Structure 1
């Protein structure tokens, strides 16, 4: 990122809410569940499956964590009522991991059971390295009782190949990501090429142990290597799919879909839209400049 982009980054907290809200519409479905369902329905009409995520993390109050559970059961119910090919994906700190593993497990356990009753899947998200070990322990407990749960692994972390090897035998569903958290060099790859190579190696390792893998990426160069990997192994779309973020590089979705690959779109929603939107804007310097231009117009 250039020095100019870094300067623009510092202006994000100053951007008026009306402008930020308009820009956020590219990356989030809205503040309400019905808006998320409507966006998922629109994506379904274009041939895309979905993931639904309630924005939020780092809950430090048990009552709030259990309120999040109710929000997610409502989301699962709404997906079922709309007959959508979609599932919920939940961050561990959003359901109380920072309070206790037992609380996070209990909430995931209840939600997994609710989703199973609807014939739905549940994804356990992954956050920064400080939560990795606890998240994996909660996930392994869930796997012993539920067959409709999956995890996220990050190629950025040096530990991931060991984590893959350590996962218990049995059906396994993993969303493979590069990882958005900027981790210390002692525990993570920091160069883009090394992160990409690790992603390919971890994906191959997962396929070797029979896992179903969601290939979460917008990197078309790496995607070509992933497609080659899938083709060489003769894997069908029951063993992999691409996953993409709402509003990010949509031409790639069509390209992959037209080539016969399944594409599932991650659809976030909720009142905490501004924090999420700012994270997305930080990864898009070109959009930064549009934000600044719109801000100046707003103030002029």
Structure 2
């Protein structure tokens, strides 16, 4: 029998794929504080928001919302938009990185297409000194994403990757990736995955995330912890102190609009805090998946929207 946590997760994942609610969300979302969760409908709208965060001592990574592109022309358009965004980041001297989803750049269409798009984006990013991170999507695309990361990392030092702790395979993936000295964002994971590939118990997901953080940091690789969880944040801070790992070797990442006080408190303590800021019209599915990750995120969302 499903417990309440599983029912809640399945409910929000179901909502994330509802096209009718997606259309309503685009139409009425601004009435419910979505502007506090998304940087803007366009990157130009997000620029002043990023500047304000930079002025407050926070750095940013931006993500143009949208995925699962099934048209070659649209995939190329998304690559064009990414190149333009990178140029805008440089033009405004923003302390900002970029995250991309490979399905938005043609992963489900043709491998050569996604490589071509990624190389074009990474060339511009390398030229301008900007880091790009490959978001991890569902488990069916995990191996392809890792393989493409390895291929790109051989040519572009400015590319990073996301690893999800709810997948059983992630510990082994860390071992295989270590020789690339990768910059990894370590997160719990936000997609609906079956028990044959992923932990279903929150405590196991949390435990595995701690193990991944410890392994990656002790391997000497730059580590980004993507979590709002006090316990895991405190674990990371204590781990760094215990092993003499300097604050410039890791960072904390949190979603834009959530846990704002915690973000600023950590920054005042001298830690790098990166705000993950989505922008674009396709915010609905992204947000529903975040609520589905853990029931506690529903409370985070409500507090995040109404607190500063």
TM-score for the superposition, normalised by structure 1: 0.89
Partner of 2:125: 115
Residues 84-107 of structure 1 show CA distances to partners (whole Å, capped at 9, x for unaligned) of 111111011111111122221221
Partner of 1:248: 258
Aligned partner (choices 38, 56, 60) of residue 50 of structure 1: 60
Q: How big is the shift at 1:270?
A: 0.9
> Any idea what SS the aligned residue of 1:153 has?
strand
Aligned partner (choices 158, 169, 172) of residue 162 of structure 1: 172
C-alpha distance in structure 2 between counterparts of 1:261 and 1:109, whole Å: 32
Partner of 2:114: 104
Contact 1:140–1:168 (8 Å) recurs in 2: no
Partner of 1:13: 21
C-alpha distance in structure 2 between counterparts of 1:4 and 1:99, whole Å: 33
> Aligned-residue CA RMSD in angstroms?
2.6
Q: How big is the shift at 1:275?
A: 3.1
C-alpha distance in structure 2 between counterparts of 1:183 and 1:6, whole Å: 10
Classify 1:106/1:4 alpha carbon distance in 2 versus 1 (closer, same or farther; 3 Å).
Answer: closer
- Higher alpha-carbon deviation: 96-105 or 126-135: 96-105
C-alpha distance in structure 2 between counterparts of 1:135 and 1:273, whole Å: 22
Residues 12-54 of structure 1 show CA distances to partners (whole Å, capped at 9, x for unaligned) of 9296655422321121011111111111111111110110110
C-alpha distance in structure 1 between counterparts of 2:94 and 2:219, whole Å: 30
C-alpha distance in structure 2 between counterparts of 1:114 and 1:94, whole Å: 18
Aligned partner (choices 227, 248, 251) of residue 217 of structure 1: 227
Aligned partner (choices 186, 210, 235) of residue 200 of structure 1: 210
> Any idea what SS the aligned residue of 1:260 has?
coil
Classify 1:35/1:184 alpha carbon distance in 2 versus 1 (closer, same or farther; 3 Å).
Answer: same
Bigger radius of gyration, 1 or 2?
Answer: 1
Contact 1:66–1:107 (8 Å) recurs in 2: yes
> Which structure shows the bigger proportion of residues in helix conformation?
2
Partner of 1:80: 90
Q: Which runs of 5+ in 1 are unaligned?
A: 291-300
Contact 1:24–1:277 (8 Å) recurs in 2: no
C-alpha distance in structure 1 between counterparts of 2:11 and 2:206, whole Å: 28
C-alpha distance in structure 2 between counterparts of 1:17 and 1:134, whole Å: 31
Partner of 1:138: 148
Q: Which runs of 5+ in 2 are unaligned?
A: 304-308
Classify 1:168/1:62 alpha carbon distance in 2 versus 1 (closer, same or farther; 3 Å).
Answer: farther
Contact 1:126–1:151 (8 Å) recurs in 2: yes
C-alpha distance in structure 1 between counterparts of 2:176 and 2:256, whole Å: 32
C-alpha distance in structure 1 between counterparts of 2:10 and 2:220, whole Å: 43
Aligned partner (choices 148, 152, 172) of residue 158 of structure 2: 148
What is the aligned residue count?
Answer: 290
TM-score for the superposition, normalised by structure 2: 0.86
Residues 79-127 of structure 1 show CA distances to partners (whole Å, capped at 9, x for unaligned) of 1011011111101111111112222122111111110000111101100
